[in-house]
Amino acid sequence: MGWQTFRGAREAALPSLLDHPHHQLTTSGRAAILLALECVGVGPDDVVLLPTYHCPTMVAPVLTLGARAVFYPIDESGAPQLDWLQVQAPRQAKAMLATHYFGLPQPMQANRAWCDAHGIALIEDCAHAMFGRSGPRAVGGWGDVAIASLTKFFPAPEGGILALNRPDLQLPALTPVPMIQQVKAAADILHMGASHDRLTGLNGLIRGVFALRGLTRRARGAQGAQGARGAQGDGAHPPDAVDANMSLIDLPLSHRALTRASAWVSTEVPRQRIVQARRRHYERLLQALQGSEGFRPLMPQLPADSAPYVFPLWVRTPDPGYLEMRHLGVPVSRWDRLWPGVPTLQGDAGVPWSHHVLQLACHQDLSDQELDAIVAQVRRLFGP
Ligand SMILES: Cc1ncc(COP(=O)(O)O)c(C=O)c1O
């Protein structure tokens, strides 16, 4: 969040899930997946079809509801392998999640037809594709239900979208947000901007207020901790660190409404700059990262009707370079923590992608220098 957030035209040239005629804001993309599953009647012991290439947050909602995940293979374009599903999908499959990876819209017509033919609900995962068109429809227009994630595109500390395309489905009633949470969300947005030096004129003031708050909290915490240590004795150990994304998700939070500040930031900020800057950054990375033996752009073209979330780069030997990039703070991620039990399937691109594909940031607020620094690190670590 910075002053630049408010630059440019309100409307983008691409449709957004925020314009969907039957949508509701949620606390996150994963909460929206959970609500989507509930909407289409997924419950304990039902089967949900999920891609082998995934972020754990796509799987956790399924298990949280007591349903079973069956993983299907994807092809080199990121599309579900429908021939495999035709033969292997269990009879009790109730829903299938299909994802517009990296914000590059996938064709959804064949998925739609396959799901219709088998009486399976299609959940269209637009977490990476807030804007765009897939064939003749806006993204989010193909699934029985579509979901999106606000934090990936807007300077909001939390948020997602649930959108319904079937008239017989109903948006859930979400629980109201406590006032303290409302205030905290607004403060978090300002703090996020100030801590990145994006609110010139207010950075020092906001950081000062938060530093002061931190000091008082620490002082109170130290007093509390002394008491707690006394009660536990010296042998107490901190609990094992748990990977939050790999655990089940928070049910009450998933059923809570979105805070007003996060909703306002996501619905009111100009969209044109976001779409244009992300496209420009993707094109710049595409140009700069051509022609090496050690790496190649996974998707050699940027589709016209898209606003990318990240730039996927295929790397021949990603380790240990990937770790070094992370240590250096280069904005890059990899979906290398597959959910336990993901099978190795012949012809599947998903599992190899989880090792070889790095997702480089192409966020609207990156500068050309920052993009060039990403390119320099990729060249240094993975090829000429
Ligand atoms: C494809 C995909 N779907 C869903 C989610 C969940 O979104 P959120 O982080 O808003 O819960 C993510 C998160 O990274 C994602 O990448």
How many Å lie between the centroid of ligand 1 and the Cα of residue 228? 37
Query: Average model confidence (pLDDT) for the chain?
Result: 91
For residue 241, name the pLDDT band (cuts at 50, 70, 90): very low
For residue 291, name the pLDDT band (cuts at 50, 70, 90): confident
Starting at the earlier edge strand, list the strands of the sheet with 47-51: 23-26, 160-164, 145-149, 121-125, 93-99, 47-51, 68-72
- Indicate the top mutation candidate among 52, 57, 354 to test ligand 1's pocket, ranked by most ligand atoms within 8 A of CB: 57
258 lines ligand 1 (CB under 6 A): no
Give residue-wise pLDDT tens across range 15-65: 999 999 999 999 999 999 999 999 999 999 999 999 999 999 999 999 999
For residue 235, name the pLDDT band (cuts at 50, 70, 90): very low
Q: For residue 224, what pLDDT is reported? A: 52
78 lines ligand 1 (CB under 6 A): no
Residue nearest to atom 7 of ligand 1 (CA): 29
Give residue-wise pLDDT tens across range 306-340: 999 999 999 999 999 999 999 999 999 999 999 99
61 lines ligand 1 (CB under 6 A): no
| Angstrom distance (rounded) from CA 27 to CA 176 | 11
| Residue 161: other Cβ atoms inside 10 A | 25
Pair 50, 71: CB distance under 8 Å: yes
13-22, 105-114, 211-220, 361-370: least confident range: 211-220
Q: Across residues 158-164, what is the average pLDDT?
A: 98
Residue 125 alpha carbon, nearest atom of ligand 1: 3
Residue 31 alpha carbon, nearest atom of ligand 1: 11
**Structural domains in the chain, sorted by start:** 3-164 (3.40.640.10), 176-235 (no CATH), 272-382 (3.90.1150.10)
| Angstrom distance (rounded) from CA 149 to CA 25 | 10
pTM of the model: 0.91
64 lines ligand 1 (CB under 6 A): no
| Angstrom distance (rounded) from CA 46 to CA 372 | 47
pLDDT(86) > 50 = yes
| Angstrom distance (rounded) from CA 323 to CA 369 | 22
Q: Which of 151, 150, 82 shows the shortest CA–CA distance to 113?
A: 82
